[in-house]
Amino acid sequence: MKRSVRTTVIAGNWKMNKTPKEAKALVKAIKAELEGKDVSKCEIVACVPYVDLATVIKEAKGSPVKVGAENVHWAESGAFTGEISAAMLKEIGVEYVIIGHSERRQYFGETDQTVNARVKAALSAGLKVILCVGELLAEREEGVTAEVVSRQVKIDLLGVTKEQMANVIIAYEPVWAIGTGKTATSDQADEVCGLIREVLGKLYTKKLAEATTIQYGGSMNAKNAEELLSKVNVDGGLIGGASLKAPDFATIIAAANK
């Protein structure tokens, strides 16, 4: 983390977990864990299923927890049955949106082109974007991690202006580490987050790259968070499984506040 120039962001990705009732209970538990603690050194976000958004926004009001969605459509409105637009999210008070998560790329046909369209729509509507990139295990083993991640960053951000980049966070999430219990080593995380920063430096400016928050995600938990967050290029975490357990999520937040 390099707090002098960029914001540390700890974001939970609840995936397809928690009914509205359960979501309310989880936010209450997170708030109770954070009560009286100094969490001013990081931003805290809970990215939750669409049907939980209104409940979580209401329950999180007045607390340090900000709220995000897990996806968004690229069109403003129209014949896209089952989809949700950026304006819909914005109007109910959503602040963040995850785009390009590997589970969407893997199971729902997401491509860098559709990711790019979603990123532009979200930014135009005034949402903050958590853009996920990362290599498959086979790609790491083939030694093409740098190429894969650079290509994703370049295409996913096509047409995104320098000004809009102030609302973009990048989450480096090696696919082989998501939900598997296999974490990248802190050096591996730092290396690829650093590489993403270099790509941003070439696409935009070095100053912008230095100011962009780049998270690590992939089995980050209460035990390994401090080590991962100690790395200079790792500016926070996108956390799946461990964000569903209030004490564990709070321990990660505490690690980001050390």
Instruction: List interacting residues with ligand PEP (CB under 6 A).
Output: 13, 15, 173, 178-179, 217-220, 238-242
- For the chain, the DSSP string reads --TTTS--EEEEE--S---HHHHHHHHHHHHHHHTT---TTSEEEEE--GGGHHHHHHHHTTSSEEEEES---SSSSSS-TT---HHHHHHTT--EEEES-HHHHHHS---HHHHHHHHHHHHHTT-EEEEEE---HHHHHTT-HHHHHHHHHHHHTTT--TTGGGGEEEEE--GGGSSSS-PPPHHHHHHHHHHHHHHHHHHS-HHHHHHS-EEEESS--TTTHHHHHTSTT--EEEESGGGGSHHHHHHHHHHHT-
Q: Which is nearer to ligand PEP, 57 or 242 (CB)?
A: 242
- The minimum distance between CB 217 and ligand PEP, in angstroms, equals 4
Q: Which is nearer to ligand PEP, 22 or 210 (CB)?
A: 22
Nearest residue to ligand PEP, by Cβ distance, number only = 240
- The minimum distance between CB 241 and ligand PEP, in angstroms, equals 4
Annotated catalytic residues are 101, 173
Q: Which is nearer to ligand PEP, 71 or 219 (CB)?
A: 219
- The minimum distance between CB 220 and ligand PEP, in angstroms, equals 6
Q: Which is nearer to ligand PEP, 217 or 236 (CB)?
A: 217
Q: Which is nearer to ligand PEP, 159 or 179 (CB)?
A: 179
- The minimum distance between CB 10 and ligand PEP, in angstroms, equals 12
- The minimum distance between CB 170 and ligand PEP, in angstroms, equals 13
8 Å CB contact between 75 and 121: yes
CA angle, corner 90, sides to 248 and 14, nearest 5? 25
